[in-house]
Structure 1
Amino acid sequence: MSSTYDRLVNLLSQGFGVEAHEVGPEDTFTDMELDSLALVELTLATQEEFGISLSDDDLNPHHTMAEAAEVVDTKLVTATSS
């Protein structure tokens, strides 16, 4: 997987009690039992980690980890091309 994916898994394991070895690319945030507050906190942590801006809708409970990494990668490309 990408370094973005690995960094997201690291954020989850450090701040949300998710075991890194139990996270797969097709796991959703719902699968990992992250509630709406945890998802907001993850969004904020992701913004800080990657230096990007995310809206409330960019990461949602039904996103897989692979989709979340893709969203972040897209935001990184957009941020660097501005």
Structure 2
Amino acid sequence: MAEQLASVEERLVEIICKRFAVPADEVALDTPLRDMKVDSLATVELSLALQREFGVRFKPGEINSGHSLGDLTAMLQEKGAAS
């Protein structure tokens, strides 16, 4: 389980860095998305990227810029994200 969690976290960080041009040294699990310049419109794009990457769906507004990567990791795990 811990190994699966690490894999989800690593893939999530990779998505944030690549899709939103966030330097890896600015990404931390407790940092809110808004502090990484991921605004409300970008959360829609992020939701779609997570759906493609992990095979899970998010309801509109379920992801917001106040969520941290740790929050998103937990949400993905709850939805049964494939590692």
User: Residue 35 of structure 1 aligns with which residue?
Assistant: 39
Runs of 4+ residues over 4 Å off in structure 1? none
- 1:35 shift after superposition: 1.4
Stretches of structure 2 that go unaligned for 5 or more consecutive residues are none
Q: Is the 8 A contact 1:58 1:71 kept in 2?
A: no
Q: What is the alpha-carbon root mean square deviation over aligned residues?
A: 1.7
Structure 1's unaligned 5+ residue stretches are none
2:56 alignment partner, one of 44, 52, 56? 52
- Give 1:40 deviation, angstroms: 0.5
Percent sequence identity is 36
CA distance in 2, matches of 1:37, 1:57: 10
Q: How many residues align?
A: 78
